[in-house]
């Protein structure tokens, strides 16, 4: 069981996770990324909070995560009578692009939120996302700006956020072009000393 399997059961109980998904959904709408013809892939979907908010605005949505616990939570929601009818275009998939083959290509939009900083082999994952993107399609990344490691407190993660310029370079090396970024939101976390730390989250977009 990994840390996310353990966190999956109570993930949806945290208001900040819903707020983040809501804000990102709004920003994607504002950017004109969502449309009824779009085939969308969300990587690192967690319990599906973002995917399930935008599903009715797109043609098809495949949501993937490497945590069995997260995918189980999402699948349970998809099976529930109150969701089932409106979510026929949504599929939850267990997938780790660091190890697994990419899905078949043909996605107009690839989304990922607060996931890439957990990915060791970033370049391998970006290349597989590129393979899965349609020509003219867009890749949208919401993640932490570079920070000092305190966001995850004692836990160590592969990337303490990202320098947007360096991430844009990685995207261009994977094949994407026309990268652009903007501030998405600020997150607040208490330090072990009881102080409040601020962390900013960007939304970076790129085209294939």
Ligand X SMILES: C[S@@+](CC[C@H](N)C(=O)[O-])C[C@H]1O[C@@H](n2cnc3c(N)ncnc32)[C@H](O)[C@@H]1O
Contact at 8 Å (CB) between 205 and 140? Answer: yes
Check residue 204 for interaction with ligand X (CB under 6 A). no
- Produce one character per residue of 87-113: b if its CB has 16 or more CB atoms within 10 Å, e if not: beebbbbebebeeeebbeeebbbbbbb
Check residue 12 for interaction with ligand X (CB under 6 A). no
Given 77, 113, 143, 184, the residue binding ligand X (CB under 6 A): 113
Check residue 61 for interaction with ligand X (CB under 6 A). no
Contact at 8 Å (CB) between 171 and 139? Answer: yes
Contact at 8 Å (CB) between 71 and 48? Answer: no
Check residue 51 for interaction with ligand X (CB under 6 A). no
Given 39, 44, 139, 167, the residue binding ligand X (CB under 6 A): 44
Size of the site for ligand X (CB under 6 A): 19
Q: Taking Cα atoms as reference points, which of 1, 133, 7, 111 lies closest to residue 54?
A: 111
**Segment near ligand X (CB under 6 A), from 52-60, 64-72, 172-180, 187-195?**
64-72
Residues at the site binding ligand X, with contacts judged by CB under 6 A:
4, 17, 20, 44-46, 49, 65-67, 70, 96-98, 113-115, 118-119
């Amino acid at each position: 069981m990994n840390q996310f399997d353990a966190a999956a059961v109570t993930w949806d109980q945290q208001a900040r996770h819903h707020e983040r998904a809501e804000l990102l959904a709004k920003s994607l709408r504002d950017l004109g990324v969502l449309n009824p013809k779009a085939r969308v892939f969300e990587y690192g979907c967690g319990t599906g909070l973002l995917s399930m908010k935008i599903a009715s605005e797109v043609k098809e949505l495949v949501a993937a995560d490497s945590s069995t616990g997260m995918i189980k939570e999402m699948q349970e929601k998809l099976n529930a009578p109150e969701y089932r009818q409106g979510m026929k275009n949504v599929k939850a998939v267990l997938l780790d692009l660091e190890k697994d083959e990419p899905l078949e290509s043909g996605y107009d939009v690839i989304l990922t939120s607060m996931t890439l900083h957990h990915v060791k082999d970033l370049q391998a994952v970006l290349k597989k996302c590129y393979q899965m993107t349609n020509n003219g399609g867009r890749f949208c990344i919401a993640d932490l700006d570079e920070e000092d490691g305190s966001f995850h407190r004692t836990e160590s993660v592969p990337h303490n956020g990202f320098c947007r310029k360096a991430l844009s370079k990685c995207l261009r090396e994977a094949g994407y072009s026309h990268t652009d970024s903007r501030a998405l939101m600020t997150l607040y976390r208490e330090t072990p000393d009881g102080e409040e730390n601020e962390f900013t989250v960007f939304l970076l977009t790129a085209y294939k």
